[in-house]
Amino acid sequence: MSNNLTTDRTKFVVVLRRASQTKAPSDLKLDGNRVTELKDIFISIKTASQNHVSRLQLLINTWVQQAKNQTYIFTDQRDEALENVMAGHIVNTNCSRDHNRRSLVCKMGHEFDMYIVSELRWWCHVDDDTYLNVKELVRLLAGYRHTEDWYLGKPSLDHPIEVINHVNPGPKLAFWFATGGAGFCVSRALALKMVPYAGGGRLTKAGDQIRLPDDCTIGYIINSLLHKELTVIDKFHSHLEALWRISPADIITQISLSYLMTKERTNIVNVPGFPVEKDPTRLWSIHCLIHPLSSECLRHVDR
């Protein structure tokens, strides 16, 4: 896959035209006869320049090492030190550096466009405070056909979200969405159907219709506009749930795990490993539990 996907606009236009056709052409490469492997997955991390050191570096040092060629980082400012570590896999979106909904949707739009150009089977998004168990992710996706419409993730609510359409006022819209903090995955077949609503910067327009953040906007397009269901995967976990309730014995089989650390509240996984003062987020402990013989874990002789 090209390291200059952001500049490959011609290729994107071709894919955009394909997706707009009523019948999928034979050259879409949706070959479902081979089992999905890591090389078939486009993993995107959404971050912000203020989190490059405090959050992102931890991911790069741990799980990203297991999927470095498949992982792309979407941020809002150039960072030469980061580019030296993840050469060709850092995308400066030039979106606003604040944390408002339009900035978040802007970055997600870049993630989606770059995935479409990649022509890979699956798009999986995570935030910069999420540990991704790459092996379990591949195992999960191997059980689904990318040639079918799949939206895999976990909602943070126990009911559909209800919003007003601010562009076309009328009855409230109700739809399910997978929370971005836990991560979600979209199959190639479904992503191509999303292009008329999300491709080429259209995701921002969709976000303005409901005035909600990026993960909600993805759910709005898939569940409300395309009428495709969210398939709930319980092994995705965000900091919006009680992470300490996850059994330590089950950690190794989970797909994503997050953390929350504020002055008011701490929400972390209960996992054995490094002392809390050395590993407050528990991500290093999670990583070395799953990959005890990895070079990055073997270097930590104090665990």
Question: Residue 247 in contact with residue 117, Cβ under 8 Å?
Answer: no
215 classed as catalytic:
yes
| Position 128, amino acid | D
**Which residue's structure tokens are 């022509």?**
119
Question: Residue 267 in contact with residue 287, Cβ under 8 Å?
Answer: no
CA distance 236 to 290: 16
**Which residue's structure tokens are 């079918």?**
148
- CA 185 to the chain's CA centroid: 7
Question: Residue 140 in contact with residue 233, Cβ under 8 Å?
Answer: yes
CA angle, corner 7, sides to 18 and 200, nearest 5?
45
Q: Which pair of tokens denotes residue 125?
A: 């998004």
With 0-12 / 13-18 / 19 or more C-beta atoms within 10 angstroms meaning exposed / middle / buried, residue 92 is middle
Kindly name the residue from 76, 79, 127, 215 that is annotated as catalytic.
215
Annotated catalytic sites, by residue?
Answer: 215
